Structure 1
Amino acid sequence: MASGVLGRALRRGSAAAAAVILLTATSADPAFAHWNGTGQDIASIHMRPYSYNSTWQMPMNKALANWNATSSPANFYKNSNSGSTITVKSYSNTWYGNYQRCGGMCMYVRLNSRTINRDASNFSNFVTSTLVHEFGHALNLAHNSTTSIMNRSRNRNSMTKPSSHDVADVNAYY
């Protein structure tokens, strides 16, 4: 619809009208471009309690807290009756983290200790960033190229919190 109006405005030679229409059409709902629809049905997501040494446990807990502190409906919490798990182990794969949906209220998140240990210069931040990113997938967020926790090329040693763009995408989705 907006492209038809934009075309008519351009044909009439109204650059100002075309700019307003284009701005409105592109900024009205940018979040739609960054959803993947493979996440959880609701934003309140439970997982089985995990227990690792403090080197892993503290940055993993920080990842939960970083999403829970946003102005979104995201609520990550531990529940011993949950089927969802977070597993840290050495995988032969090249990824740092992996999210897998196992149902509308179930997820498996894997953190690859081999690649994280190999590439992290700030271990705690790297773990937090990786898990915050995987939780983004649980919240139906897709990879993107903006300044975002969902950007595959982000600096994992320093970016540990969802960006305002990530929060806006979650709010628009749920």
Structure 2
Amino acid sequence: MPFRRTSAKRSSIVAAALAVALAAVQAVPAPALAHWNGTGQLIAYIGIYPYSYNSTWMTPLNRALSNWNATASPASFYKDTLSGSTLTVTNYSDTWYGYYQACGSSCMYVRVNSRTINRDASNFSNFVTSVVVHELGHALNLAHNSLSASIMNHSRNRNSMTTPQAHDIADVNAYY
């Protein structure tokens, strides 16, 4: 009988130690002012099914991918015919400019509302790029914030801010 008690005690001690170790690994502290939503993709290397629009749209859409790829972060967006992720531009009746939706841990839909952008943009190319860079930020698990120097600020000037800012890049680096 003493062996069973000792064995049971050891098992509970080992289980408790494993629980503490797992909690320590999972409880990676966020940097001060981190803004994550955790609804993005598991990895920052994200394929998107190739899209095709006229040059008025293609240039700012492609620039949005390039703007994330040019950062000092693990973000990498690329076109891949095997990807289930899509970037779609169409006329939606909703009031938003762009919309991100996860369709799995390695799949996403980014929708761009041509109706609202055509209505509100004074610099069309910059506006489209800003919207898509913002939505790709959601794919990288970034949440909205109120920092003036952040692509994830819902109130940013979409006609001029077209690149991820230092805070956005720091949040992506901290997350991945």
| Matched position secondary structure for 1:30 | coil
Are positions 1:156 and 2:158 aligned together?
Answer: yes
The structure having more radius of gyration, on CA atoms, is: 2
Match of 1:172 in 2: 174
Distance in 1, Cα, partners of 2:142 & 2:33: 9
2:61 is aligned with 1:36: no
Q: How does 1:76-87 map to 2 (within 5 A)?
A: 76-87=77-88
What residue identity is the alignment partner of 1:156?
Answer: R
Aligned 8 A contact 1:31 1:168 in 2: no
**1:13 corresponding residue in structure 2:** none
Question: 1:56 — aligned with what?
Answer: 57
CA shift for structure 1 position 31: 4.7
What secondary structure sits across from 1:167 in the alignment?
helix
Aligned mates of 1:138, 1:122 — CA distance in 2 = 25
Secondary structure, counterpart of 1:73 in structure 2: coil
Q: Secondary structure at the match of 2:132?
A: helix
Q: Percent same amino acid among aligned pairs?
A: 74
Is 1:66 aligned with 2:67?
A: yes
CA–CA separation in structure 2 for the residues paired with 1:164 and 1:120 = 25
Kindly report which structure 2 residues correspond to 1:131-146, keeping only aligned pairs within 5 A, or say none: 131-146=132-147
Secondary structure at the aligned position of 1:132 is classed as: helix
Say which SS state the counterpart of residue 162 (structure 1) adopts: coil
TM-score between both structures, scaled by the size of structure 2: 0.82
User: Which whole-Å deviations, capped at 9, do the CAs of 1:55-99 have from their partners, x for residues lacking one?
Assistant: 000000000000000000000000001000011000010000000
RMSD over aligned Cα, in angstroms? 0.9
Measure, in 1, the Cα distance between the counterparts of 2:103 and 2:117.
Answer: 24
CA distance in 2, matches of 1:29, 1:126: 30
Q: Distance in 2 between matches of 1:86 and 1:74?
A: 17
Partners of 1:43 and 1:117 lie apart in 2 by 30
TM-score normalised by structure 1 residue count? 0.83
Q: Does 1:129 align with 2:130?
A: yes
Where structure 1 has 5 or more consecutive residues not aligned to the other structure, the ranges are: 1-27
Cα separation, 2, equivalents of 1:136 and 1:128: 12
Q: Letter of the aligned partner of 1:143 in structure 2? A: H
Partner in structure 1 of residue 104 of structure 2: 103
> Tell me, what secondary structure is at the counterpart of 1:61?
helix
The equivalent residue for 1:23 is none
Q: Which runs of 5+ in 2 are unaligned?
A: 1-29
Q: Distance in 1 between matches of 2:145 and 2:108?
A: 21
Equivalent residue pairs, number: 146
Does structure 2 conserve the Cα–Cα contact (< 8 Å) formed by 1:83 and 1:107?
yes
| 1:29, distance to aligned residue in structure 2 (A) | 1.5
